[in-house]
Amino acid sequence: MVAAVLIIALGLAVLAGPVAAGDAAAGRKIFEERCARCHGANGTGNGPDLAKLHPTSSPVNWTNPVVMRQWSDQEIVDIITKGGKAVGSSPVMPRFGGKLSDAQIHDLLAFIRTLAK
């Protein structure tokens, strides 16, 4: 009996496991739908809506490796999940926690990491 419970518990732990590495192709699709209007079609930080909403705030150029090296994966996940305001950045950056799943946010991270070479 105890063994059976243990086996079930282990099985669940494996299923719940850590979030798998993101899928960059899936991330690109989400980016095009939800992020490009501010972050720009190529992730360079110059989307059309940003100029309208907040002309003085400028997201970083995701294709610039020097800048992107200063961002840890955790920091990127955090600002996408919690929004700019919660991490002391621009309130114009929306929070996507609750709108996107953790897996989708990791897909976005994987996509963003393909841009800086």
Question: Under the rule (CB under 6 A), what is the footprint of ligand HEC?
Answer: 34-35, 37-39, 45, 49-50, 53-54, 57, 59-60, 76, 79-80, 84, 89-90, 92-94, 96, 108
Nearest to ligand HEC of 15, 95 (CB atom): 95
Minimum CB–partner distance for residue 79 and ligand HEC (Å): 5
Minimum CB–partner distance for residue 20 and ligand HEC (Å): 18
Residue 56 to residues 46, 52, 53, 64, 98: CA-CA distances in angstroms?
12, 10, 9, 20, 28
Nearest to ligand HEC of 5, 35 (CB atom): 35
Nearest to ligand HEC of 11, 91 (CB atom): 91
**Tokens encoding 34:** 């939800």
- How far is 75 from 117, CA to CA, in rounded Å? 19
Nearest to ligand HEC of 93, 110 (CB atom): 93
CB 23 within 8 A of CB 110: yes
Exposure b/e, 40-54, CB count within 10 A at least 16 = b? beebebebeebeeee
Minimum CB–partner distance for residue 8 and ligand HEC (Å): 36
**Tokens encoding 54:** 């907040």
Minimum CB–partner distance for residue 117 and ligand HEC (Å): 17
**Tokens encoding 95:** 């929070």
